[in-house]
């Protein structure tokens, strides 16, 4: 079974996205649908993960959604590509830590397609850019797993309004900022970013023998 790729043609309301993911997770677990990567944009909003601290919501200038993903506060909005990743981790032999590392590797490889060096930082989830001695976050990771099927996923800043982050302390980190490909001088389109994400996905998440038609368990 190959991973299905889906790109939303218009911004998706956050509640609708969560409902769709939960439905797909159940179908993957039941063996009646393939794994999926769903690329979306959202209207401007903040989400609060399971570790979010109330003090990190500076000003609710956009709707705030409490969500079951891991992590703290983050922003979603136009110009940011959100990748919702629904994979059967058990059949792929991935534990949660390995899965998050693979998501980070995928983001790093995607950025490299545009000549940008993304880096991990100890104690900080997500991908960071060292720009002229200043560190800034360009991509976030926040996941949830239900019955060993993943959902939620990653976000990568192409060209969002970075001023929209002012209502929160992103991911609870006050001493560093956020950036985007556009802020780094990269004028890529969303379609180009999508193609780069699809090209680099297989290296981070290679096909597993258990996912072949002979071993899929899907009939």
What are the counts of helices (DSSP H) followed by strands (DSSP E) for the chain? 4, 11
Question: Which sign does the torsion angle of CA 30, 21, 145, 129 carry?
Answer: positive
Closest C-alpha to 136, from 75, 180, 193: 180
Rounded to whole angstroms, the Cα distance separating 202 from 180 reads: 24
Contacts of 51 (CB under 8 A, 6+ apart): 70, 71, 72, 172
Q: Confirm whether 171 is a catalytic residue.
A: yes
Rounded to whole angstroms, the Cα distance separating 69 from 89 reads: 16
Active-site entry in 40, 52, 143, 171: 171
DSSP 3-state percent helix, strand, coil across the chain (nearest 5): 30, 30, 40
Tokens of 62: 């956009």
First and final C-alpha spacing in the chain? 11
Closest C-alpha to 125, from 202, 49, 203: 49
Positions annotated as catalytic residues are 171
């Amino acid at each position: 079974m190959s991973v299905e790729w889906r790109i939303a043609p218009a911004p998706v309301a956050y509640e609708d996205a969560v409902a769709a993911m939960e439905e797909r997770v159940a179908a993957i677990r039941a063996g009646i649908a393939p794994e999926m990567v769903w690329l979306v944009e959202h209207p401007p909003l903040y989400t609060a993960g399971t570790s979010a601290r109330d003090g990190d919501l500076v000003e609710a200038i956009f709707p705030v959604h409490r969500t079951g993903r891991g992590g703290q506060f983050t922003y979603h909005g136009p110009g940011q590509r959100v990748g919702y990743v629904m994979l059967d981790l058990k059949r792929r032999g991935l534990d949660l830590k390995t899965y998050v590392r693979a998501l980070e590797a995928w983001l790093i490889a995607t950025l490299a397609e545009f000549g940008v060096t993304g880096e991990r930082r100890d104690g900080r989830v997500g991908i960071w850019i060292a720009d002229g001695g200043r560190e800034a976050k360009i991509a976030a990771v926040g996941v949830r797993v239900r019955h060993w099927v993943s959902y939620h996923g990653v976000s990568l800043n192409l060209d969002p309004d970075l001023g929209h982050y002012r209502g929160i302390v992103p991911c609870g980190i006050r001493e560093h900022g956020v950036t985007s490909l556009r802020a780094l001088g990269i004028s890529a389109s969303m379609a180009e970013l999508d193609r780069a994400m699809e090209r680099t996905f297989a290296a981070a998440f290679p096909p597993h023998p258990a996912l072949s038609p002979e071993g899929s368990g899907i009939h």
